[in-house]
Structure 1
């Protein structure tokens, strides 16, 4: 991508109120059958238009066609029973009722490819599609079949690779794997987590991203963050491993976080997708605040390797707040872009 400091959201945008309950994760659809299909496509078009009007460089679907970034993918797979549910601890943080793995998992047909083709039709700009990472998938399930987190993760990695290759063939330029679990299960990240992620991305020509955050701006996550102290050093565990990995881009939180920016030295040489928008607050950043976050990162990331983004998805926010944050992200990146151009003259 030739644009300096390109802008992109991590994943989700708020859904229109006619499609799903606003500002709610796992919100049930308010439409059904053919009207639901049409509603999802309408919402996807609106999400594209919001990003274009804000001036973003890489366009995503805003996850408008899925209820949840993990379970919507899983519900299309064989071997998982959504009627047989158990309560599990998600990322050692909060309890949730989740489906159960009851047999060998497999993917009979593409999950998101038709949606990605529709997104491709909406814009000539580069497009990005997000998939759940293998470790985060297994952390959102009860497993009564494999009884091994590692074995199930490898099965999911193979399935994700099938999906990613077909997304690439559908015209997707950037494929992102969401792995918030990398900030929790450090031993597993080292033992097999990064290797499973690389398996999911194997053979792709599209640019690959791993997104590691501290979670949506929901109470369970903000309460957890409050226990982490004055410095959040979780990235210290995964960054050295990812620096040596085949993944192209590392995505992380920065705005209003306590992540020491010098940790970015651990991934020197990789592209960095830096969260310059706080998704746990309704306060809309000013362009200057976004610019300051990006400027600070330039001490540790070369300008041609820095991508301006959000900390995480924005599904729990209002649409007006999300639009304001998109505009701020674009304007803030433009400020720094101009400064860099002036400095070169």
Structure 2
């Protein structure tokens, strides 16, 4: 019996977010590039040492990235947009940051490449750009350098590559003259060179990730898989190809997969309802290695190792060698549960982070080799005791869910009638200006929250100081002449974590950081039980902000689908039921905000598209309950109360009709990085309500000019009636500093004023 443990990737941020700190210091010119590189090297070394110590047999190399792994692949392939190229075409680490952050070698403005969600996760990637002039060539040696690094430490390694077809699929054609598949031969020749370099280093296995195999692919793309892997196989010499799939079942593409020229296949078993490993084994060629993704890389619950012991034990009789692994990269998991000193011990016993997931693989392998489940029973016992815990179940919540089972949560009147009442009450100008919600999270604000959390500041003094910041935020917005104001969210660390902390049914970590993109990390809440609201969450501070101005202040909430998607969900209840529990809790908050005199309430749902199942046949069902959950969260509000939502960085074309079905009065949406394709899409579907199309990219430090924003706004007016347009940034401003924020908003407001004036002249 030969069992090999491996994982598809490990978190790259460092146990104390060392990478984030180093990146931001480098961007602010506080450390040199060499110092940044040294920190990355230390993180990689520690990651490999930890995995080896924990019993991982085959260590992934190439899972580290300075921003995101798709962008790393673009660098390796030399796929650099002209606007980000240096004068001598030299490609280096700064080039990578130019592409992701929107600056050029001279420091001048150069729009960042688009950023999208990585499949149905909250991880983001920088979208590759393809034009008629795109030529791939091996250009960046990071992968090979890291391989040599790991080999110098004596590790048994498995290089990780994003597959050529997934890379092309995830990219964007920037003109009509290019077809992505026309670039296939060129990109395959670069992969051939990379494999040649791996052969020189006597690498046994290379992991090639092709997650798009979990999608419904067109025939020409499926045919391209046959062609591509035959080409790679014929040029691989001694190296073995492990084709890696994840995030979904690939059963629907298995007929094509069986014909691929590869040496092994990794299957995300957890994404399929089929856990019959004997049947799965019979579906793949006998000469292939089978790698089983049975440890959940996307959630934090302990694995029922006893269950998998018996499943795999049956399989071993039919297959002499298998790999046991994580379902996907552990990039999506916090690093080490042992760092959590404040967690309730009972709750903590239910969890498994990246380090513990490596331990799970070791324990399972050991048990299979020794045919002894004693250690597995001890490990898995908390899973069963949890099912009886009073921290999990609440009868009142279950009863309330039953009461709304047949409810259709629509507004009282249609938008066309509601908007008349809203305009009369709000008295806003045409092209009203606003922001998405958050303002810069300064060091002072972060220290203030930290002092409160660590009990260096009592609640009364903390609230006083928070109110002082809100007062300043309102003054700043008044001086900028914004039309609809926000309180700025100084009390909120994260848009989901904050609400989780004020709802029952959640648990929280102190160091459970997960990378979202670049230096942006989040600490997802963990949904451990039935969810409900037992006291107001935002009322006091929003009411205070509204008392400071005659202009409307938006109540700011995070929507139920986003709270679900950006948390680690429980696995003993359907996502539909969890989301409806959250929606009912938010509904209580919405109605109380309205009763407190707040006339605009924004319920953000940036994760609506993210939650979409990868298979088309499953999407309609999800979208139905997701839309219903959002509408349930604001069910019962008056017609004169204006409901807003915000969405960003997703493939809107997949859900455009469902965005319409949300029936919000105003949607603010990211368009600053996107082309006119989204505008055409919204026009094609005749988007009926009001819309704020993000007029500048907040993820770039560049200050947008009035001239550029005016051009963009005039473009928007060609697609939508001016009476239904708002002017706003494309996302929240928490990651920017105040100088950038005020200068950008000043230009934004001035743009709106100039366009209003031009329109009056034309009349």
Q: Same fold (TM over 0.5)?
A: yes
After the TM superposition, which residues 91-240 of structure 1 pair with which residues of structure 2 at under 5 Å, given as runs?
A: 97-144=523-570, 146-186=572-612, 187=619, 190-205=623-638, 206-214=641-649, 234-240=651-657
* 1:264 matched to 2:682: yes
- Which residue matches 2:700? 281
After the TM superposition, which residues 41-60 of structure 1 pair with which residues of structure 2 at under 5 Å, given as runs?
A: 41-60=467-486
Distance 1:283 1:86, change over 3 A: closer
| Structure 1 residues 140-190: Cα deviation after superposition (integer angstroms, max 9, x where no partner) | 222336532111111111111110111111221211111111232332752
Higher-RCO chain (CA-CA 8 Å, sequence separation at least 6): 1
Alignment match of 2:758 (pick from 329, 339, 343): 339
Provide TM-score, normalisation by structure 1: 0.85
Distance 1:38 1:117, change over 3 A: same
- Which residue matches 1:12? 438
RMSD: 2.4
Q: Tell me how far apart the structure 2 counterparts of residues 18 and 53 of structure 1 sit (CA, whole Å).
A: 22
Q: Is the 8 A contact 1:85 1:100 kept in 2?
A: no
Distance 1:259 1:131, change over 3 A: farther
Distance 1:189 1:278, change over 3 A: farther
Report SS of the residue matched to 1:322. helix
Per the TM alignment, residue 20 of structure 1 is displaced from its structure 2 partner at its CA by 1.6
Q: Tell me how far apart the structure 2 counterparts of residues 320 and 304 of structure 1 sit (CA, whole Å).
A: 31
Larger radius of gyration: 2
Q: Is the 8 A contact 2:506 2:531 kept in 1?
A: yes
Alignment match of 1:250 (pick from 645, 663, 667): 667
Task: Identify the range of structure 1 (286-295 vs 137-146) with the bigger mean alpha-carbon deviation.
Answer: 137-146
Provide TM-score, normalisation by structure 2: 0.40
Give ranges in structure 1 of 5+ residues lacking alignment. 22-26, 215-231
Report SS of the residue matched to 2:557. strand
Report SS of the residue matched to 1:246. coil
Q: Tell me how far apart the structure 1 counterparts of residues 753 and 510 of structure 2 sit (CA, whole Å).
A: 50
Distance 1:109 1:59, change over 3 A: same
Alignment match of 1:290 (pick from 709, 730, 734): 709
Q: Tell me how far apart the structure 1 counterparts of residues 626 and 449 of structure 2 sit (CA, whole Å).
A: 31
After the TM superposition, which residues 320-339 of structure 1 pair with which residues of structure 2 at under 5 Å, given as runs?
A: 320-339=739-758
Q: Is the 8 A contact 1:275 1:309 kept in 2?
A: yes
Per the TM alignment, residue 207 of structure 1 is displaced from its structure 2 partner at its CA by 0.6
Distance 1:30 1:85, change over 3 A: closer
Distance 1:267 1:28, change over 3 A: farther
Q: Tell me how far apart the structure 2 counterparts of residues 198 and 191 of structure 1 sit (CA, whole Å).
A: 11
Q: Tell me how far apart the structure 2 counterparts of residues 211 and 60 of structure 1 sit (CA, whole Å).
A: 14
Aligned residues: 319
Q: Tell me how far apart the structure 1 counterparts of residues 496 and 486 of structure 2 sit (CA, whole Å).
A: 17
Q: Tell me how far apart the structure 2 counterparts of residues 337 and 193 of structure 1 sit (CA, whole Å).
A: 37
Distance 1:18 1:303, change over 3 A: same
Q: Tell me how far apart the structure 2 counterparts of residues 267 and 210 of structure 1 sit (CA, whole Å).
A: 18
Per the TM alignment, residue 264 of structure 1 is displaced from its structure 2 partner at its CA by 2.1
Distance 1:88 1:64, change over 3 A: closer
Per the TM alignment, residue 87 of structure 1 is displaced from its structure 2 partner at its CA by 7.3
Q: Tell me how far apart the structure 2 counterparts of residues 61 and 69 of structure 1 sit (CA, whole Å).
A: 14
Q: Is the 8 A contact 1:48 1:61 kept in 2?
A: yes
Per the TM alignment, residue 327 of structure 1 is displaced from its structure 2 partner at its CA by 0.6
Distance 1:244 1:144, change over 3 A: closer
